[in-house]
Amino acid sequence: MKEIQEYEKDIASIRDMMERSAKFISLTGLSGVLAGLYALAGATAAYFTVHYPISPLKFRIYSVREPDTLLRLILIATLVIIASLATGLFLSSKKAKKQGVKLWSAASQRMLLNVSVPLVSGGIFILIMLATDHFGLAAPASLIFYGLALIQGSANTFDEIRYLGYSQIILGLVSAMLPGYGLIFWSLGFGVLHIVYGAIMHNKYDK
């Protein structure tokens, strides 16, 4: 009986080592929660830049065409992305040290490669839409391409990331049918969904 228990422990240890080498497990739920909060803060700043004093729940029938306003929105989005990436790297680095694994491993490199294709192509596509005055589809496109990136990267990290990707794509498709509510859907996708999934991952993996 004792030998069987030791055998099962050895199998569990081997399985854990294989998972550590194949998947990027240093991703933290807290970084997802904070990224969601950053996104909501950015959405609030965007609202005061574009909508205020009109209610954000009111259907918007006009497009943002002023170059100064577009630059401010791009700056807000850039700051949100930088803050989210910096926080994610910092917290993942701490978790990796605690786990005794390398942050820049083969698994993290594969994940970065997988997510970079839809993210870069999506970013270029959105810039093309903005340059050609297709402003109403910028928010849906960002949600859809981000969802595709999450699904691509989920093969090398936690499974919950895949379901977050599905949720982002669905939200993006609904947003495409209601382009006047782009800021609301952007807030739900990058803000609320990040907070919800981040909290789930934190309770499941980080405690």
Residue 26 is predicted with a pLDDT of 64
Specify the pLDDT at position 58. Answer: 65
The model's pTM = 0.79
For 158, residues 6+ apart whose C-beta sits below 8 A from its C-beta are 23, 25, 27, 201, 205
Query: What is the residue-level pLDDT of the chain in tens, covering all 207 positions?
Result: 545 555 555 454 444 444 444 455 567 888 889 999 999 999 999 888 877 777 666 655 555 667 777 788 889 989 999 999 899 888 888 887 877 767 677 777 888 888 889 999 999 998 898 888 787 788 899 999 999 999 988 877 778 888 999 999 999 999 999 877 888 999 999 999 999 998 988 888 766
Tell me how far apart the alpha carbons of residues 159 and 178 are, in angstroms, rounded to a whole number. Answer: 30
pLDDT at position 191: 94
Q: What is the pLDDT of residue 3?
A: 54
**Domain boundaries along the sequence of the chain:** 43-206
In 51-104, where does DSSP find H-type helix?
Answer: 67-99
Count the neighbouring beta carbons within 10 Å of the beta carbon of residue 52. Answer: 11
Q: Which two tokens stand for residue 73?
A: 């929105």
- The residue type at 26: S
So what's the pLDDT on residue 47?
Answer: 85
The pLDDT, as a whole number, for residue 156 is: 75
Cis peptide before 53 (omega within 30 of 0): yes
The pLDDT value recorded for residue 17 is 44
Q: What is the pLDDT of residue 23?
A: 54
CA distance 55 to 150: 32
What confidence score (pLDDT) does residue 54 get? 72
Other C-beta atoms closer than 10 Å to the C-beta of 134 total 14
Terminal alpha carbon distance of the chain: 32
Q: Enter the tokens of residue 156.
A: 């090398």
CA distance 12 to 101: 18
pLDDT at 127: 87
CA separation for the pair 167, 177 (Å, rounded): 16
Residue 69: per-residue pLDDT: 76
